[in-house]
Structure formats: structure tokens, C-alpha cells
């Protein structure tokens, strides 16, 4: 018996080619994406990597995205390669212009590197969002459309704006703690399938009634 779409398919629903599972279209080893996370873009969802900019292997930073995330059209993940040296008189990148200017090349220690960009599980990112280098977005968070995310967003919080700021919690602390403890996104496909009603219910107490089936 099938318990949902194939996580290894490019298009989970062959009738909707604007939506693809990102894990199955990325080629860069420094982009790591979990099962069932999708990008939705009528102009080419399979071109997700084009929305991860300034991402150079020699810098070593990674984009890590968890499972079951929903990412809308217009996303841009700006990685650490976009950073310029700020400790000198000028920020201008003479070295990349060549023709003798390459002698001014900065070392990695000269650059304001922010580390990996990490998106948790079950995160919903609205249209035309920009995520800056080194940001961590927690499990279950929601990012409003047209936001520029420059700071970390806690799990199960709604955030938006430019710069992006936390608007409110999605649930009370007790439920947030419970959801983080059960990690439903790590359940086997059968358990998720058999508990879809609870996962999708407006009655938030139903999630605590689920019987562990393995």
C-alpha cells in the first residue's frame, strides 16, 4: 500500500509541474534538503538552485533545509559569497575584476562570514522572500511574503517585514514544546498517513491523542 507521494520523485503530483521536491533536483553538494520539501514556481520549480546565490565551494558554507517545508516562488537564499571585506577603507572587490587587481584578494578571515544557513522542518516561506547568510529559521515557522530575513526566527513563530521581525507565536509554549519533542516530520510514512486528520486539524488537542505505532 502507498502511504503518500514518492519522496524521490521530482514532481510529487505529475499534474502540477510547477511544484517539485527540491532534494531531487539540486546538484550542489553544499545544498542539503530533506524529504518532501518543495519549491513552487510556475517559471521552473526545478531551477531552485538558481535562487541560491553567491554560493561558492571554497567558502564552505552550506544551505541546509529540513523536511516538509513549503517554499514559494521568488525565494532567494543569499550565501556568504556575497559578503565584502568591511575592515578596510573600501568594500570594493578589486580582486574579482582581474587585470592586476587580483593582488588585493581578501582571505576568508577578512570576510564577515556568517556560517551555514539552516531552515528547520515544516517551515512555510511565502513569495519573494530573501534569506540572508547564516540565518537559522526554526521548525514550524512561517515567513510572510516579501520579507528579508536577517536574523534567526524561533520555532513555531510567524515573522515578516523588511527587516523581518517576529510577529507572534503560532501556538502556546506547551504545544510548541510538545511538537518539537514528537518531531512528526521524522515519523515513517505510514504513521504520517494514518494521522493526517490530526496533523491537519484545527483542533490542536488531537495531536496529543495519537497512539505511537512505531
Residue 199 · residue 182 · CB < 8 Å: no
CA distances for 16 relative to 30, 41, 70, 79, 178, angstroms: 28, 10, 15, 30, 34
Cα angle vertex 53, ends 155, 30, to 5°? Answer: 70
**Residue 84 annotated among the catalytic residues of the structure:** yes
C-alpha cell at 166: 517576529
Residue tagged active-site, from 54, 84, 136, 157: 84
**Residue 179, Cβ density class (10 Å: 0-12 exposed, 13-18 middle, ≥19 buried):** buried
DSSP of 4-21, one letter per residue? SS-TT-S-SSTT-TTEEE
Residue 207 · residue 198 · CB < 8 Å: yes
DSSP H helices, the chain, are 173-182, 189-194, 196-199
Q: Which residues are catalytic?
A: 84
Amino acid at each position: 500500500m502507498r502511504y503518500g507521494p514518492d519522496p524521490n520523485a521530482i514532481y510529487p503530483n505529475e499534474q502540477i509541474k510547477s511544484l517539485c521536491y527540491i532534494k531531487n533536483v539540486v546538484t550542489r553538494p553544499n545544498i542539503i534538503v530533506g524529504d518532501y520539501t518543495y519549491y513552487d514556481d510556475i517559471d521552473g520549480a526545478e531551477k531552485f538552485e538558481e535562487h541560491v546565490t553567491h554560493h561558492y565551494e571554497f567558502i564552505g558554507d552550506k544551505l541546509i533545509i529540513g523536511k516538509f517545508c513549503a517554499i514559494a516562488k521568488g525565494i532567494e537564499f543569499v550565501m556568504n559569497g556575497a559578503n565584502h571585506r568591511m575592515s578596510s577603507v573600501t568594500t570594493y572587490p578589486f580582486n574579482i575584476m582581474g587585470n592586476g587587481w587580483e593582488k588585493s584578494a581578501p582571505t576568508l578571515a577578512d570576510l564577515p562570514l556568517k556560517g551555514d544557513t539552516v531552515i528547520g522542518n515544516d517551515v512555510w516561506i511565502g513569495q519573494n522572500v530573501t534569506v540572508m547568510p547564516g540565518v537559522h529559521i526554526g521548525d514550524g515557522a512561517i515567513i510572510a511574503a516579501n520579507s528579508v530575513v536577517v536574523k534567526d526566527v524561533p520555532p513555531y513563530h510567524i515573522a515578516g517585514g523588511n527587516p523581518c521581525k517576529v510577529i507572534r507565536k503560532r501556538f502556546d509554549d506547551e504545544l510548541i514544546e510538545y511538537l518539537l519533542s514528537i518531531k512528526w516530520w521524522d515519523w515513517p510514512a505510514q504513521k504520517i498517513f494514518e494521522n493526517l486528520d490530526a496533523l491537519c486539524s484545527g483542533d490542536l488537542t488531537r495531536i496529543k491523542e495519537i497512539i505511537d505505532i512505531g
